[in-house]
Chain A
């Protein structure tokens, strides 16, 4: 190989490395872009609306003539639907995880995993359809006073949507618990269920917490199910049979209307999105930290 061609090769290598590093910097740029876009537009919002108005008013009516900017109805709606979803998906997900990792045969496992993945891959619009046209009519048999839009069916559909993620993350956590802990429990005379409740679950608690928080973040950010089935009325209450509006559903509502660029209504979009972003980011980072510490514990 001549010196020149070797030099050309080296330059080519450098260029390729540079290109690849540019590819990976796109994620940093995207993050910065999101933060920039949300902050710039939120600043316009906070020029006209003070933080006191945001947090000490209990009405959210930015699209009406008599404008109020109390964020609590949207937060209450988000918390209510997410709480219903978690109440369903966390216990059910844990039981599935314990069953799959401790009791199920290899064949059952091989059968269940792809089904869980399929359930996780279904577009959320299908869950919205399910909530509006299957769950709500079914629940109306039990609660005749329930309207066609309500927090309960949206929460249930969301719980089903989150279930696969919760189950598979908890199963990973349970799988991480070393064999010695199980054997120790058996050696102390524990039955299988005692071993699971006394040794495996306490040992996996870090990973399970991370899974719950990640599921919560997913529930808070879920959009289409609540936009379709929970209604679009920002009412401040915690009654699951009544319609609610979540932060995400509000964003969809404004986006569907013809809100002119640069108006206050347009800026509310970004202020709400900013809160949503901060909330999910905190949840994600906490989950990541707990998850990392958990994995280090057994290394």
Chain B
């Protein structure tokens, strides 16, 4: 068949055709400058929003931060209330979530990158992971409610909460770890295999150590997301009023974001100040985690060069 210009796939796009409609506007000498102005304006406003976002919370909450705020239980009087139960609960959640999610996530990533052959089963696993990454977090809460709280009768404990959060961050950990494993040059594996190492020996002694900083970065970001999550813990039925420090995995708990949400949903402005202070504590912890991740990543990139 003879292809005329019209049939060519690129024929729809040439400037010849668009000239009448687009040229007058775009050929104006100022158009690029005005685009740059627009772009810089948007970026500046995004930065401004980030500043106001963090700034307003810290500004509102800073006056409330004190040692007694960190060491008191919630109270009906806003000025006596504290976040002892909340931050200890968050610490417990973080600790257990790491224990559950880290080996599972890295193990799954190692399997998919180093072991799995291209098969239907592998494809299914990958599809599930990609899908789970997009499932809204409230739905994980309902899963946890039915499976961990009811079916396994762990009740509304730290254990149920952290298992739910572990499932929630698992896809993120798997994807980040796979990314890190993929950056390890093929030669490392081939070298070890050629020397007679088994696949696991190769993975354990050659591949994992090289990928470790990358895996760590991804995991830290995933766990910093886990301690900021509110919705799944609310659907799980985490309590909003807890006056005890969790002493075991089976203890009832509350967490920093839940405490903040509880205070925020009250009408009195004094409690909003408490919420701001609780969020400030949460944010400083997360920023610390993010800084660690950034340092690790820059080290990782330097080593690769």
Contacts and interface: CB of A to CB of B under 8 A. Distances in A.
A281 interface: yes
A18 B142 CA distance: 30
A269 interface: yes
A252 B53 CA distance: 24
Given A273-B142, A277-B135, A96 B286 contact: no
Nearest to B237: A255
A248 to B, nearest CB: 5
Contact of A98 (B39, B131, B167): B39
A133 B134 contact: no
Contacts of B125: 24-25, 27-28
Contact of A133 (B22, B265, B272): B272
Nearest to B111: A20
Given A23-B111, A26-B108, A27-B129, A121 B43 contact: no
A16 B202 CA distance: 13
Interface stretch (A46-54, A55-63, A65-73, A123-131): A123-131
Contacts of A285: 131
B186 to A, nearest CB: 20
B136 A23 contact: no
A118 B128 contact: no
B139 A34 contact: yes
Nearest to A9: B198
B164 to A, nearest CB: 10
Q: Looking at chain B, what size class is its interface with the partner chain? A: 35 or more
Nearest to B232: A223
B288 to A, nearest CB: 12
B160 to A, nearest CB: 14
B279 A121 contact: no
Contacts of B111: 17, 20-21, 23-24
Interface string B29-71: 0011001101110110011011011101100100000000000
Contacts of A133: 56, 60, 272
B261 A24 contact: no
Nearest to B36: A103
Interface in B12-31: 13-15, 18, 22-23, 26-27, 31
B200 interface: yes
B235 interface: yes
Contacts of B54: 122, 126
Contacts of A140: none
B228 to A, nearest CB: 3
A284 B32 contact: no
A228 B264 contact: yes
Nearest to B238: A255
Interface stretch (B81-89, B143-151, B208-216): B143-151
Contacts of B115: 17, 20-21
A139 interface: no
A125 B225 CA distance: 12
Given A28-B125, A30-B167, A13 B39 contact: no
Contacts of A178: none
Contacts of A191: 26-27, 31-32
B128 A30 contact: yes
Contact of B221 (A21, A27, A121): A121
A288 B175 CA distance: 15
B135 A27 contact: no
Nearest to A1: B196
Q: Which residue of B146, B229, B294 has the most chain A CB atoms within 10 A of its CB atom?
A: B146
B64 to A, nearest CB: 14
A199 interface: yes
B137 A223 contact: yes
Contact of A41 (B43, B104, B146, B261): B146
Interface in B229-246: 229-231, 234-237, 240
Interface in A158-188: 160, 163, 185, 188
B283 interface: yes
A168 to B, nearest CB: 12
Nearest to B272: A133
27 contacts: A9-B198, A20-B110, A20-B115, A23-B104, A23-B108, A24-B108, A24-B112, A31-B128, A31-B132, A119-B46, A121-B224, A122-B286, A123-B282, A123-B286, A124-B231, A125-B257, A125-B279, A126-B53, A130-B52, A192-B32, A193-B26, A197-B26, A223-B137, A224-B230, A255-B236, A256-B240, A269-B142
Given A125-B279, A129-B276, A130-B53, 11 more contacts: A21-B116, A23-B105, A23-B108, A28-B125, A103-B39, A122-B228, A124-B231, A191-B32, A227-B261, A261-B150, A280-B136
Interface of A: 9, 12-13, 16-17, 19-28, 30-31, 33-34, 37-38, 41, 92, 95-96, 98-99, 103, 112, 114-115, 117-119, 121-130, 132-134, 160, 163, 185, 188-194, 197-199, 202, 214, 217-218, 220-224, 227-228, 248, 251-252, 255-256, 261, 269-270, 273, 276-277, 280-281, 283-285, 288
8 nearest CB pairs, A to B: A221-B136, A123-B228, A23-B107, A99-B39, A20-B111, A24-B108, A284-B134, A223-B231
